[in-house]
Chain A
Amino acid sequence: MTSELDIFVGNTTLIDEDVYRLWLDGYSVSDAVALRVRSGILEQTGATAAVLQSDTMDHYRTFHMLERLLHAPPKLLHQLIFQIPPSRQALLIERYYAFDEAFVREVLGKKLSKGTKKDLDDISTKTGITLKSCRRQFDNFKRVFKVVEEMRGSLVDNIQQHFLLSDRLSRDYAAIVFFANNRFETGKKKLQYLSFGDFAFCAELMIQNWTLGAVDSQVDDMDVDLDKEFLQDLKELKVLVADKDLLDLHKSVVCTALRGKLSVFSEMEANFKNLSRGLVNVAAKLIHNKDVRDLFVDLVEKFVEPCRSDHWPLSDVRLFLNQYSASVHSLDGFRHQALWDRYMGTLRGCLLRLYHD
């Protein structure tokens, strides 16, 4: 006796969250059954392995049919074939677009192209995430990227509107799209200590302040590209380190203000010029695409690592950066106050986030 056909169709489509997770994680039906058996479900329900097998197959079939719709979530809402309560629809979409931290760290900032897709095998081996799941996550990134890439308006809003994701997940995707578009390098060894959350935080700040959309929401609002004019203008900041008087003045203003407030004052005083040079040079170089890509590498090399080697506490870094950016306003010879604020405001936020072990 063999089962040729075995189906269950409910008027309301049954979604088993546990099986959905197994499916998303890319397990085959037999692996999923084995995992479910291990979870002790048979003992809880008194079911047999055959029942579990049939149930798992059925759910997998349903998910497979739903997958087409999940590629364009608004379709899931309007389609008539599966009657699914709204809360469940939201859950299906949210889980489908959720991604693994380990995976996203591997592809963040990489070009979402076929070439990268080929690397998925290696990523799968490295992270222990099934290839199937890697593919889904990669395809999700790529799909979202394709849809919102050329779109006007707020990146987060666009993602939310076209993929019906939660606010949190939309922001994450905005970061992924932003990183993929600007190809920021995140894979270097010295960046390994950073989490996706760190990068996403920086991405959000940059989108808010450094893109075209940040200046004027009315114009061709492109959230994914950095404001070229702004990058161009950043060269002007060079004067802060090139002009020796200005640099000394800047240092003395900062040191006066912070004396007695920092535990690492002497180290700061000794390192001020190096740090300032580092930060200003990063700004001045951003006009080149290659240097944009290396932004995070530079920030870590030029600022985070020197501070960390001197054991600056985070509170001191904060005090220093606040004072460092604010004191520029009292430098009489410096004319680019607004530009400095746009640059340093964002950078300060990023650096504070990046500064940890």
Chain B
Amino acid sequence: MPGKLKVKIVAGRHLPVMDRASDLTDAFVEVKFGNTTFKTDVYLKSLNPQWNSEWFKFEVDDEDLQDEPLQITVLDHDTYSANDAIGKVYIDIDPLLYSEAATVISGWFPIYDTIHGIRGEINVIVKVDLFNDLNRFRQSSCGVKFFCTTSIPKCYRAVIIHGFVEELVVNEDPEYQWIDRIRTPRASNEARQRLISLMSGELQRKIGLKVLEMRGNAVVGYLQCFDLEGESGLVVRAIGTACTLDKLSSPAAFLPACNSPCKEMKESPLVHPPSHGCRSTQNSPIHTATGSRLTQNFSVSVPTLIYTGMGSGSAGKEGGPFKALLRQQTQSALEQREFPFFTLTAFPPGFLVHVGGVVSARSVKLLDRIHNPDEPETRDAWWAEIRQEIKSHAKALGCHAVVGYSESTSICEEVCILSASGTAAVLNPRFLQDGTVEGCLEQRLEENLPVGCGFCHIPYDELNMPFPAHLTYCYNCRKQKVPDVLFTTIDLPTDATVIGKGCLIQARLCRLKKKAQAEANATAISNLLPFMEYEVHTQLMNKLKLKGMNALFGLRIQITVGENMLMGLASATGVYLAALPTPGGIQIAGKTPNDSSYEQHISHMQKKINDTIAKNKELYEINPPETSEEVIGSPIPEPRQRSRLLRSQSESSDEVIELDLSHGKKDAFVLEIDDTDAMEDVHSLLTDVPPPSGFYSCNTEIMPGINNWTSEIQMFTSVRVIRLSSLNLTNQALNKNFNDLCENLLKSLYFKLRSMIPCCLCHVNFTVSLPEDELIQVTVTAVAITFDKNQALQTTKTHIEKSLQRASTDNEELLQFPLELCSDSLPSHPFPPAKEHLESASSNSGIPAAQRATSVDYSSFADRCSSWIELIKLKAQTIRRGSIKTTVTVEKASPMGEGNFRNRSAPPCANSTVGVVKMTPLSFIPGAKITKYLGIINMFFIRETTSLREEGGVSGFLHAFIAEVFAMVRAHVAALGGNAVVSYIMKQCVFMENPNKNQAQCLINVSGDAVVFVRESDLEVASTQQAAATCQPLCTGGEVTT
């Protein structure tokens, strides 16, 4: 019996009037944990009762402590009839189970009722006494910390990053009793809330066990999702990255560690076990997944494309012997794992070595009604299958790991699309395993990593490329090959050199689909998916070029299935990476060149496009590096010298490239307008309106190119539902409607937040759902952060000075290696392989995939896949290589670390009054330092109404509900002693209405990390240096000390 839970009910306030006669309430409270219930006395005739109860003590297993929520019910005492429930509070006591987190939960909690919403507040104190339990067969995993944040939390240091953990539990959905009208809506909603709370607890405990098994002590990037599968059940699943974290006690203690983390690791008593992955097992005591049929699988991997079955070359061409060694190390470290996946999107410096491109896999499944817990074909197997595919895609890209990994589902009736995506990458083994890498080798490796461009270098074998891509020498270091565009699902690495600012890029797409049942439906969807994926990709590519940028970060492609349509929405942040070549323009080509009016039209379009590109370049400050130097206005001899030096080393090869490219083949990405579809594409390209001046937007953590955040933040959720007129449902009309919906939504946001200008919308997260036949729902959550325009100039300057210093030291260090490497590796790669590849691709391209018959059978997967690839290859031919210019790179501020650092000197904002809780989807709070993580917030609410009109219609209902959800999150954080939620995410917002019956129901699931932050005062300016180091806990790798 290893835990004692103690609860005290102090008081209530603002209770509703329950007795009409006296306009008062006789309230009492039931406190329930597991199967034990305590009651307070009835406090007669008051809307502000003072119970001041004794301490209710529950003696429970720590397993229960993890699974069960504390349930507090406020009731109105009634002598003659049944007591009326006023509302409930569920408190997740998990945060009390880690030693470092909260020690007490104490505060005012909104009393929530699923029918009436918030009805007053109750003051509660909760404590837990934990006894140590050394039983190694224990089922609990108390003490494992969970973080939603997808990077190493700010006040911790990663000792080892173990890898992927996943789990899912399945149960019947109590809602089905509601549909059958067996019980009241309130009872059904409460049963559902309680069940999900219980399942989340169980899931978290099981994941914790796996982490302990791996000898980790924390899960970072924890993402838990619900699949409401309707009649076939309720799935709660979670993925995360197991880590061993060390708390940074103080900046001073941290600094030395920062310089030699590897030493620390060796001293660490933890020995990484020969991990045997973390296979999920279906041992849920609640229920197992129902068996169901697999229908269809297919998959795609993007940067400029695609999975082919070719073996990956691990020859490590670009890095010479050391790289090869590194590769082997990583490989061995990672191959022990079943799934070398990481849910992180930002990494300690030096962790990410190379990035291959986006890998994604989708699979269409039929949810079966037949309930057979013994059926081996479970949801677990479905996911395992998809993950296997992701893994093989990564391999094809020459990568051993997948970072920025995430999974999602879209369900409509009995069809379910499972999706997984991530970024194939090569990682530095230092963080994955300890003790295995020789110290001296490591040292050299570190020096070897080029600053700010290493991750762009291709990880795959140049001679044996997985897809036709255009490789050029890196514009930054001039030594290694880079692709012409780079797509990733991760955040921009802090050390990446970016030119100009970034911007939000979205591809939006709808496809009509015939209504069908079961397998026919699944087949129809499977057939549509590759085209959607392809078109989304093309749209992204076009828009990226239109912005004059060459890389996408934070790419998230969401495919939503509805009764009669499929929707695709891809969001990403476009940037111009200095290491990648300048993107070519977009060239429009017509099919009927004889028609003069047609040609005129085309040239008009072409002009429009060219103008837009030019405008965008100006807007996002994308200047060729030479000019950016002038803009800054200070002579920068060092980088120039450096680049000259580097060039001289690789002179011969460089010359070759430039010759090769100077054939006058002017760049260009050709768009053929041969049919109306393509015209549509061009039009839609040009309809995207840039944000008003003073506004920027991105869907990543930080905006590339902005580093001087001020402290004002505003997190918001906006929801829109439109009804399509059923008359003219064509693909074009649909696309236009959907496009308008998203654009108008963005415009509204810009208008609403205009008082914050200059500001940036960060972490813009769009979610699309199709609740009914003709309804499209778009939910956006983001945070607006103000920044200081004037400060920008100063910071850039000072940073350049700084980077100059660093550059000069780098020069000396770098000189030694490139010499060796260039001599043996570069000459061995003649440039033109890409071209060859193109030709071969075109020769064997067949009929467009659309015309191929597709069968439901899984065995046809490979077949389909290859035809799909051919289709893409065809298109790929229209992509020509961009021209190369000699560049001198000016290192710009790395937005993350430096941004935070700068904020320290920002004026402290109006002193936060008592009770203010900030919420942000980001992992940090500008102008503040996170001093403590209090635990994960993971809440699920249902709200229902039978008086929709009286509550202000659907808008009034949902507006109030979301405000209530925010309030409850804030109250829980405040009760934990926190003042902010970081990495906040609204994972689900399922809204259903029935206006005829005057009813509506909504389910919302939110999560985040409760933290304590301290605003930086002027006093701290003196210790800025120290503080800056803290907010970037692992500043090893990239920085070479002199």
**B608 interface residue, CB < 8 Å from A?**
no
Q: In the complex, what residue of chain B is closest to A4 when comparing beta carbons?
A: B721
Flag whether B417 is at the interface (Cβ < 8 A).
no
On whether the beta carbons of B748 and A8 are closer than 8 Å, the reply is: yes
Contacts of A13 in B (CB 8 A): 963
Of chain A, the residue at the smallest CB distance from B991 is A5
Q: For residue B737, which residues in chain A have a CB less than 8 angstroms away from its CB?
A: 1
Residues of chain A lying within 8 A (CB to CB) of residue B40: none
Residue in A closest to B715 when the chains form the complex, CB atoms: A11
Chain B hits for A58, CB < 8 A? 752, 959
**Bound state CA distance, A50 and B751, in angstroms?**
11
Q: Which residue of A lies closest to B783 (CB)?
A: A11
Cβ of B725 < 8 Å from any Cβ of A?
A: yes
Question: Of A72-80, A190-198, A325-333, which stretch is located at the interface?
Answer: A72-80
Q: How far is the CB of B1011 from chain A (nearest CB, A)?
A: 15
Please give, as numbers and ranges, the residues of chain B lying within 8 Å of A45 by CB-CB distance: 692, 751, 754
A109-B928 Cα distance, complex, nearest whole Å: 55
B960 within 8 A of A: yes
**Separation of A58 and B962 alpha carbons in the complex (Å):** 13
B722 touches A7 (CB 8 A): no
Residues of chain A within 8 A (CB-CB) of B916 are 83, 85
How many angstroms from the CA of A200 to the CA of B183 in the assembled complex?
60
Known A1-B723, A2-B722, A83-B917; contact A10-B748, beta-carbon cutoff 8 A:
no
Cβ proximity bits B694-727 to A, threshold 8 Å, 1 near / 0 not:
0000000000000000000011111111111100
| Residues in B whose Cβ lies below 8 Å from that of A83 | 916-917, 966-967, 970
Q: Is there a chain B Cβ closer than 8 Å to A34's Cβ? A: no
Query: Is there contact, CB below 8 Å, between A64 and B952?
Result: yes
Is there contact, CB below 8 Å, between A86 and B118? no
Given the contacts A9-B966, A61-B955, A78 and B721 also touching, CB distance less than 8 Å: no
Contact between chains at B962 and A5 (CB < 8 Å)? no
Q: A6-B955, A81-B964 are in contact. List 16 more A-B contacts (CB 8 A).
A: A1-B740, A4-B721, A5-B777, A5-B954, A7-B959, A9-B717, A9-B966, A11-B715, A11-B918, A45-B692, A47-B751, A51-B751, A54-B748, A58-B752, A81-B966, A85-B913
Which chain A residues border B910 with CB–CB below 8 Å? 85
Give the bracket for the number of chain A residues in contact with chain B.
Answer: 35 or more
A78 and B959 contacting across the interface, CB-CB below 8 Å: no
B121: CB under 8 A from chain A?
Answer: yes
Distance between Cα atoms of A83 and B717 in the complex (Å): 14
Contact of A61 among B692, B719, B748, B959 (CB under 8 A): B959
Can you offer 29 A-B residue contacts whose CB atoms are under 8 A? Answer: A2-B722, A2-B725, A3-B720, A3-B721, A3-B722, A4-B721, A4-B722, A4-B954, A5-B958, A7-B955, A8-B752, A9-B959, A9-B966, A14-B714, A47-B750, A51-B744, A51-B751, A55-B748, A55-B752, A58-B752, A64-B952, A78-B14, A80-B970, A81-B967, A82-B967, A83-B916, A83-B966, A83-B967, A83-B970
B108 within 8 A of A: yes
B210 to chain A, nearest CB (A): 34
Whole-angstrom distance between the alpha carbons of A61 and B718 in the complex?
A: 14
Contact (A55, B751) CB under 8 Å given A75-B14, A82-B963: yes
Given A79-B14, A80-B967, A8–B722 Cβ distance below 8 Å?
A: no
Q: Which residues of B contact A2 (CB under 8 A)?
A: 722-723, 725
* CB pair A11 B747 closer than 8 Å: no
Contact (Cβ within 8 A) A80 B108: yes
CB pair B971–A1 under 8 Å, yes or no, is no
Q: Does A256 contact B (CB under 8 A)?
A: no
Most buried by B among A9, A11, A62, A79: A11
Q: Please measure, in the bound complex, the distance between the C-alpha atom of A11 and the C-alpha atom of B971, giving whole angstroms.
A: 12
Q: Do A81 and B740 form a contact, CB below 8 Å, given A2-B722, A5-B721?
A: no
Least CB distance, A270 to chain B, in whole angstroms: 64
Q: Is the CB of B754 within 8 A of A8?
A: no
Instruction: Tell me if A5 and B752 are in contact (CB < 8 A).
Output: no
Contacts of B744 in A (CB 8 A): 48, 50-51, 54
B397 → A minimal CB distance (Å) = 40
- Determine the residue in chain B with the shortest Cβ distance to A47: B751
Closest to A7 in B: B959
B913-A80 in contact (CB<8A)? no
User: Could you list which residues of chain A lie within 8 angstroms of chain B, going by C-beta atoms?
Assistant: 1-14, 45-48, 50-52, 54-55, 57-58, 61-62, 64-65, 75, 78-83, 85-86
Interface centre among A9, A13, A46, A86 (most CB of B within 10 A): A9
Contact A11 B721 (CB under 8 A): no
Count A-B pairs with CB separation below 8 Å.
126
Q: Bin the interface of chain B by size.
A: 35 or more
Contacts of A62 in B (CB 8 A): 959
Distance in Å from the Cβ of A114 to the closest Cβ of chain B? 20
B964 touches A10 (CB 8 A): no
Q: Is B270 an interface residue (CB 8 A)?
A: no
For B720, give the chain A residue with the smallest CB separation. A6
Is B751's CB under 8 angstroms from A7's CB? no
Where the two chains meet, the residues of B that have a C-beta atom closer than 8 Å to any C-beta of A are 13-14, 108, 110, 118, 121, 692, 714-725, 737, 740-741, 744, 747-752, 754, 775, 777, 910, 913, 916-919, 952, 954-956, 958-960, 962-964, 966-967, 970-971, 991
CB distance from B859 to the nearest CB of A (A): 42
Complex interface: chain B residues within 8 A of A55 (CB): 748, 751-752
Given contacts A7-B958, A83-B970, contact A51 B747 (CB under 8 A): yes
Q: Write the nearest CB–CB distance from B922 to chain A, whole angstroms.
A: 13
Contacts of A7 in B (CB 8 A): 718-720, 955, 958-959, 962
Across the interface, name the chain A residue whose C-beta is closest to B914: A86
Is A8 in contact with B955, judged by CB distance below 8 angstroms?
no
What is the bound-complex CA distance between A335 and B720, given in angstroms?
80
Asked if B963 and A9 sit within 8 Å, CB to CB, the answer is: yes
Contacts of B777 in A (CB 8 A): 5
Q: Are A80 and B118 in contact (CB under 8 A)?
A: yes
**CB distance B751 to A1 under 8 Å?**
no
Please give, as numbers and ranges, the residues of chain A lying within 8 Å of B967 by CB-CB distance. Answer: 80-83
Q: Measured between alpha carbons, how far is A82 from B971 in the docked complex, in Å?
A: 12
- Which of A14, A65, A80 makes the CB contact (< 8 A) with B960? A65
Whether B718 pairs with A8 at a CB distance below 8 angstroms is yes
Q: Do A11 and B913 have beta carbons less than 8 Å apart?
A: no
Q: Which residues of B contact A65 (CB under 8 A)?
A: 956, 959-960, 963
A58–B751 Cα gap in the complex (Å)?
12
Q: Tell whether, in the assembled complex, residue A14 and residue B14 are in contact, meaning their CB atoms are under 8 Å apart.
A: no
Judge whether A10 and B917 touch: CB under 8 Å.
no
In the docked arrangement, what's the CA distance between A3 and B723, Å? 6
Q: How far is it, in angstroms, between the C-alpha of A7 and the C-alpha of B717 when the chains are bound?
A: 8
A5 with B913: CB separation less than 8 A: no
Q: Is the CB of A9 within 8 A of B747?
A: no
Contacts A8-B716, A78-B14, A81-B964 given; does A46 touch B121 at CB 8 Å: no
A64 cross-chain contacts in B, Cβ below 8 A: 952, 956
Which of B14, B714, B718, B741 contacts A11 (CB under 8 A)?
B714
Name the distance in Å between B916's Cβ and chain A's nearest Cβ. Answer: 7
Of A52, A64, A81, the most chain B CB neighbours within 10 A belong to A81
Chain A residue with minimal CB distance to B747? A51
Complex CA gap A43/B718 in Å reads 24
Q: Top 6 nearest A-B pairs by Cβ distance?
A: A5-B721, A10-B716, A4-B721, A11-B715, A9-B962, A7-B959
Distance A47 CA – B913 CA, assembled complex (angstroms): 34
Alpha-carbon distance A82/B751, docked complex (angstroms): 21
Contacts of B692 in A (CB 8 A): 45-46
Give Cα distance in the complex from A52 to B110, angstroms: 33
Nearest chain A CB to B369 CB, angstrom units: 31
Q: Which residues of B contact A75 (CB under 8 A)?
A: 14
Separation of A78 and B110 alpha carbons in the complex (Å): 11
Residues on A with beta carbons closer than 8 Å to the beta carbon of B715: 10-11
**A81 contacts across to B, CB distance below 8 A:** 110, 118, 963-964, 966-967
A12 to chain B: which residues have CB within 8 Å?
A: 714
Bound: A123/B723 CA distance, A: 43
| B residues less than 8 Å from A78 (CB atoms) | 13-14
Q: Is the CB–CB distance between A57 and B955 below 8 Å?
A: yes
Whether B719 contacts A5 by the Cβ 8 Å rule is: yes
Enumerate chain B residues within 8 angstroms of A5, measured Cβ to Cβ: 719-721, 777, 954-955, 958, 991
